[in-house]
């Protein structure tokens, strides 16, 4: 409603309060398109139609009235229907709607109890049009931030490499919107169902140096050396490796520190430590296009040995260098003092 003082439209904060009297209540109750909430703070449109009211404001004065006509249009269909994270047996549905699950009042609070009834009919049919699933889901039960108009839903129990059609219809009370449809085709078995967020680090399926049990973020890498990497762990689908249904895409965030290259026809890769520093090794599924592993590794320089007369000292990282069971310290000390080293 617009308030005016003469011809001037009043804008900003000022006292106003529409009077809900018996005449207004009766007019609303006789109209099939609108309802008044129990606390009389909300007028709810429940079906297309028109309502005319004569309103008064408690602060303007009892003798001042305004004729107001309200038009309720048909329930709008959902928009921006997307099918994401498609795998061999499930996918996610995302869409928006002009209505939120719970409106925000003047005090900033959400009032779903005055707005209940918004929901969505989600149907899945196969390529021949046979109905496989039909579910009604309340807007408040869908995964969404409270008070937003973006909704998400998980559809599982599907068959690999199959074509489906997803149909979503908005419903409010007894009213339904037009349908919105989206085709989707499931995939072969991916290497993993996990989907990492952009801030997730040292997580996902396990990535290891061959022969080691710790993931690569805890492994030691030294410049000039090459390493063979493998994958595994609880989030990995070993069936994908056996059948080679997915392709793994390996990347390094800093090629000056380390490069990584997939070994063709396998789920392993070769890492070349090029220079000192840190880099992020990322692993992506070609099927889901999601990042399924991300690890930060550190490459260290190879240590240097310095000789001081009568005092052999090794400087650098604590590398485990042994020859026939003798450490580098023992070998250097024995050789420099006795002229030979006990090498078998």
Pick the closest to residue 217 from 202, 229, 205, 232 (CA basis): 202
Q: What is the pLDDT of residue 63?
A: 81
Domain annotation covers residue 128: yes
| Same domain, yes or no: 213 and 290 | yes
| Same domain, yes or no: 131 and 156 | yes
Domain annotation covers residue 193: no
Q: What is the pLDDT averaged over residues 307-325? A: 46
Pick the closest to residue 315 from 323, 306, 324, 327 (CA basis): 306
Does the pLDDT at position 306 exceed 70? no
Q: How confident is the model at residue 113 (pLDDT cuts 50, 70, 90)?
A: very low
Does the pLDDT at position 109 exceed 70? no
Q: What is the pLDDT of residue 144?
A: 60
Q: What is the mean pLDDT of the chain?
A: 84
| Same domain, yes or no: 83 and 177 | yes
Domain annotation covers residue 198: no
| Same domain, yes or no: 296 and 309 | no
Q: What is the pLDDT of residue 1?
A: 72
| Same domain, yes or no: 61 and 86 | no
For residues 279 and 260, the answer to whether their CB atoms sit within 8 Å is no
Say which range, 52-66, 102-116, 268-282, has the weakest mean pLDDT.
102-116
Name the more confident of 140 and 34: 34
pLDDT in tens, 196-218: 999 999 999 999 999 999 999 99
Go through 141-170 and write b for each residue having 16 or more CB atoms within 10 A of its CB, e for each that does not. ebebeeeebebebebeebeeeeebebbbbb
Name the more confident of 100 and 17: 17
Q: What is the pLDDT averaged over residues 278-290? A: 96
Q: Which two tokens stand for residue 86?
A: 């498609």
Say which range, 4-18, 124-138, 232-246, 307-321, has the weakest mean pLDDT.
307-321
Q: Final residue of a domain: which of 185, 216, 234? A: 185
Does the pLDDT at position 20 exceed 80? yes
Q: What is the pLDDT of residue 313?
A: 46
Planar angle of CA 194, 182, 170, nearest 5 degrees: 100
| Same domain, yes or no: 163 and 235 | no
Q: What is the pLDDT of residue 323?
A: 45
**Secondary structure E strands in 110-225:** 118-126, 131-138, 150-155, 163-172, 175-176, 180-185, 203-204, 206-209, 221-222
Measure the CA–CA gap between 32 and 73, rounded to whole angstroms: 13
* Enclosing domain of residue 233: 203-300
Question: Residue 338 has what DSSP assignment?
Answer: H
Q: Final residue of a domain: which of 72, 92, 120? A: 72
| Same domain, yes or no: 207 and 138 | no
Domain annotation covers residue 324: yes
Measure the CA–CA gap between 250 and 262, rounded to whole angstroms: 6
| Same domain, yes or no: 268 and 291 | yes
Q: What is the pLDDT of residue 334?
A: 44
Q: Which two tokens stand for residue 117?
A: 């009834």
Token look-up 């009604």 returns 136
Domain annotation covers residue 195: no
Q: How confident is the model at residue 108 (pLDDT cuts 50, 70, 90)?
A: low
Say which range, 13-22, 76-85, 157-166, 175-184, has the weakest mean pLDDT.
13-22
Name the more confident of 239 and 38: 239
Domain annotation covers residue 343: no
Does the pLDDT at position 318 exceed 50? no
pLDDT in tens, 224-256: 999 999 999 989 999 999 999 999 999 999 999
Q: Final residue of a domain: which of 185, 211, 227? A: 185
Q: What is the pLDDT of residue 344?
A: 40
Does the pLDDT at position 117 exceed 70? yes
Token look-up 């499931």 returns 186
Give me the number of domains the chain comprises.
Answer: 4
The residues near 249 (Cβ < 8 Å, ≥ 6 apart) are: 262, 283, 284, 285, 286
- CATH number of the domain enclosing 155: 2.60.40.10
| Same domain, yes or no: 117 and 163 | yes
Q: What is the pLDDT of residue 336?
A: 44
Q: How confident is the model at residue 312 (pLDDT cuts 50, 70, 90)?
A: very low
Measure the CA–CA gap between 110 and 148, rounded to whole angstroms: 11
Q: How confident is the model at residue 34 (pLDDT cuts 50, 70, 90)?
A: very high
Q: What is the pLDDT of residue 161?
A: 94
Name the more confident of 222 and 328: 222
Domain annotation covers residue 344: no
| Same domain, yes or no: 156 and 68 | no
Token look-up 């493998």 returns 230
Q: Which two tokens stand for residue 188?
A: 């072969």
- CATH number of the domain enclosing 270: 2.60.40.1080
Q: What is the pLDDT of residue 145?
A: 56
Q: Cα–Cα distances in Å, from 61 out to 23, 64, 131, 146, 252?
A: 17, 6, 59, 38, 72
Domain annotation covers residue 94: yes
Does the pLDDT at position 101 exceed 90? no
| Same domain, yes or no: 156 and 126 | yes
| Same domain, yes or no: 226 and 247 | yes
Token look-up 């992506």 returns 284
């Amino acid at each position: 409603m617009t308030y005016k003082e003469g011809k001037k439209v009043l804008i900003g904060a000022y006292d106003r309060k529409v009077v809900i009297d018996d005449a207004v209540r009766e007019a609303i109750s006789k109209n099939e398109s609108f309802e008044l909430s129990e606390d009389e703070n909300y007028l709810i449109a429940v079906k297309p139609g028109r309502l005319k009211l004569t309103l008064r404001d408690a602060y303007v004065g009892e003798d001042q009235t305004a004729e107001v006509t309200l038009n309720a249009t048909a329930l709008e269909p959902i928009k921006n229907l997307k099918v994401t994270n498609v795998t061999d047996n499930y996918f996610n549905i995302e869409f928006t709607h002009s209505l939120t699950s719970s409106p925000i009042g003047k005090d900033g609070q959400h009032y779903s109890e005055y707005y209940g009834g918004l929901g969505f009919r989600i149907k899945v049919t196969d390529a021949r049009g046979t109905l496989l699933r039909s579910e009604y889901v309340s807007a408040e039960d869908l995964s969404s931030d409270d008070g937003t108009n973006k909704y998400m839903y998980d559809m599982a129990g599907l068959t690999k490499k199959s074509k489906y059609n997803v149909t979503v219809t908005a419903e409010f009370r007894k009213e339904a919107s037009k349908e919105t449809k989206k085709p989707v085709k499931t995939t072969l078995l991916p290497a993993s169902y996990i989907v990492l967020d952009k801030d997730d680090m040292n997580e996902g399926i396990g990535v290891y140096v061959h022969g080691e049990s710790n993931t690569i973020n805890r492994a030691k890498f030294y410049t000039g050396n090459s390493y063979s990497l493998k994958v595994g762990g609880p989030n990995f689908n070993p069936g994908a490796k056996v059948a080679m249904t997915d392709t793994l895409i390996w990347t390094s965030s800093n090629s000056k520190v380390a490069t990584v290259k997939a070994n063709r026809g396998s789920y392993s890769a070769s890492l070349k430590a090029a220079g000192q520093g840190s880099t992020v090794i990322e692993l992506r599924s070609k099927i889901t296009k999601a990042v399924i592993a991300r690890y930060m590794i550190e490459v260290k320089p190879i240590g240097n040995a310095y000789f001081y007369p009568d005092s052999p000292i090794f400087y650098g990282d604590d590398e485990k260098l042994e020859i026939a069971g003798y450490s580098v310290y023992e070998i250097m000390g024995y050789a420099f003092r006795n002229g030979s080293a006990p090498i078998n």
